[in-house]
Amino acid sequence: MGVKLRAVWFDLDGTLVDSAVDLAAPIHAMRMERGLAPIDAELLRPYTSMGARGLLMRGLDVQKGDQDFEALRDEFLARYEKAMVVHTGLFPGMAQVLEHLDAQGLIWGVVSNKFERYVRHILDALQLTARCAAVVGGDTTPFPKPNPANLFYACGAAAVDPRQCVYVGDDRRDIEAGQAAGMRTLAAAYGYCDYNFVLGWSSKLSDDPKKRPALYLEKPGAAYPVFVIESGPCTGSFVLADFRDCGKRDCDRFRR
């Protein structure tokens, strides 16, 4: 029997918005002040979804637990707070996706591990806050992703059943959180991960194909975005308006 889709929740960085340039800016400034050579922005981009922790690890070779980590993280955040929405914006095509959701009567919102005040500031700047059914940050509850608590919080705020939701994210912890919440999961491979990363999550999350990331988002650009089922009980493609449980169907895998 089909499962009626009611809500789509998005991670923020690398999924709903491209914030890589603004998140990398503090690292570039910190390296320059310390007399370090410039680092290629493309080397930092894959670490953007990890936030300060990942960017400091790649950009300054400092890891959580190191003696200087806390001070460097505070410096990073202080710099970032001053210029969060200089280059940050929706990914190309994402505006059409959101319009499509609105037109279909589906609610949507953001569940991020970023501080809630940062999430709200960015969504306010992009004039998206009023359209969100819920805005949840990593500190909204004491349990950020991969714990599913913040996804449950969003569902509670919007009065929807998690089983009627899709969670879209570009990091493995997004997939883990969505699955733990009982949602369908979409890997946003247009963001800061890629298809090979998604396949890697699949193999590491479970030996059971039915428990691997079920859905892979090829691109956000179409007015009727195509979601491709890459693993699970069956494979195939469908548009968001026709979201269904296809567990009893036997279809051939293909990508667009």
- The residues annotated as belonging to the active site are 11, 13
For residue 148, say if its preceding peptide bond is cis, omega within 30 degrees of 0.
no
Of the candidates 14, 43, 19, 48, the residue with the CA atom closest to the CA atom of residue 187: 14
What's the length of the chain? 256
Across the strands, what pairs with 111?
Answer: 136
Q: Helices (DSSP H) in 50-128: which residue ranges? A: 51-60, 69-81, 94-103, 116-125
CA separation for the pair 159, 30 (Å, rounded)? 44
Would the CA dihedral through 148, 151, 153, 156 be positive or negative? negative
The helix or strand, by DSSP H or E, that contains position 24, with its residue range, turns out to be helix 20-33
8 A C-beta contact, residue 169 and residue 187: yes
